Structure 1
Amino acid sequence: MNTSLLGIYLNDHLAAATGGAERARYMARSASGTGLGTALEPYAEELAEDRAALIGLMERLDVPVRSYKVRAGRLAERLGRLKGNGRIVRRSPLSSLVELEALRLDAEGRAALWQTLRDLADRDTRLDPDLLDHLLERARHQQGALEELRRRQIGPALLPV
């Protein structure tokens, strides 16, 4: 296994996982007390668990965490909050739609990561196939759940009131 390229690959996914976990927490807080907030709270916890699982796998594979990539993931998430949404003072329904699309893409990326590592587990005993199967299944479930939440936001975001 090319550990140099594996390190880049895993650290890039860690940066994305960091941004995704922070975005999910932010969205859950922003939508607190609503159906969307209630639906996002457990998802935000799962994303934090997925991120921790990735760090654990990196440790098992002797891949160092590149803190500058983690910081870049956090910074990208915060900069993403600055996007125009048609409102100055409060959140727009469009914000939730776009953010759910980003989280849906993040889940797709994590599914690809877990599948890649699962394929490598056949040749590397440091990787636990059962854990990776669980993480892959959870990412696929998250994709479906996020897609359903996203579709529910289309009307409030884009249809006339």
Structure 2
Amino acid sequence: MNALAYSGADQRRPTGRGADMRLLGIYLNDHLAGATAGTDRAARLARTARGSALGRAIEPVAAEIAEDRTALLDIMRDLGVPVRRYKVCAGWAAEKLGRLKPNGHLVRPSPLGTVLDLEALRLGVEGKTACWQVLSRLGTTDERLDPARLATLLERARRQQETIEAWRARQAEEALAGRRS
């Protein structure tokens, strides 16, 4: 049986299941960095929108996004892919730095900030969807990947995309309507 941990001279050797574990590790850690940023962004948006219709719609999505990050960690563990902490920290820092962008208001929050948060979440969920699709394809030849679990994660990501997109469009129209004259 092939070792799941990869060390030594031949780090590019496939596991016998067709996966290049070194590249798969990079790929999954990059997605983990994105999942870290997305989880923080979604939680912050849910907090700032609490009590509103947007908050009621985004709170369950934010909870699912956090669950999806945990699912990714579980899958990485199942595949023997080590977590690269520096990438997790980079994802966390990128989300914090992303908040510093100019938004048209100096002191108070801008409605454009919500639109941009929703757009960032949409992009993140699209990336997550792509990851679940790749893992589903790999799962056809790798018994460590549960096809049913991946199908559930993929369907949930698609539902998240629909919810986020509906609210992104609504928030963009509200925020930008005053500038359309």
Q: TM-score range by the shorter chain?
A: over 0.9
Which range is displaced more, 97-106 or 30-39?
Answer: 30-39
Which stretches in structure 1 are left out of the alignment for 5+ residues? none
Q: Distance in 2 between matches of 1:61 and 1:115?
A: 16
Cross-structure match for 1:128: 146
Which stretches in structure 2 are left out of the alignment for 5+ residues? 1-18
- Deviation, structure 1 residue 5: 0.2
Cross-structure match for 2:71: 53
Match of 2:178, SS state, is coil
- Deviation, structure 1 residue 89: 1.6
- Deviation, structure 1 residue 37: 1.4
1:86 is matched by which residue type in structure 2? G
TM-score between both structures, scaled by the size of structure 1: 0.98
Q: How does 1:4-153 map to 2 (within 5 A)?
A: 4-153=22-171
More helix by share: 1
1:44-94 Cα shifts (integer Å, max 9, x gaps) = 100110000000000000000000000000000000111111111221110
1:18-48 Cα shifts (integer Å, max 9, x gaps) = 0000000011111122111121111110011
Q: Distance in 2 between matches of 1:93 and 1:127?
A: 41
Q: Distance in 2 between matches of 1:81 and 1:4?
A: 33
Q: Distance in 2 between matches of 1:24 and 1:97?
A: 12
Which stretches of structure 1, 4 residues or longer, exceed 2 Å deviation after superposition? Answer: none
TM-score between both structures, scaled by the size of structure 2: 0.87
Match of 1:127, SS state, is coil
Identity level (%): 57
1:78-134 Cα shifts (integer Å, max 9, x gaps) = 001111111112211100111101101111101100000000000000000000000
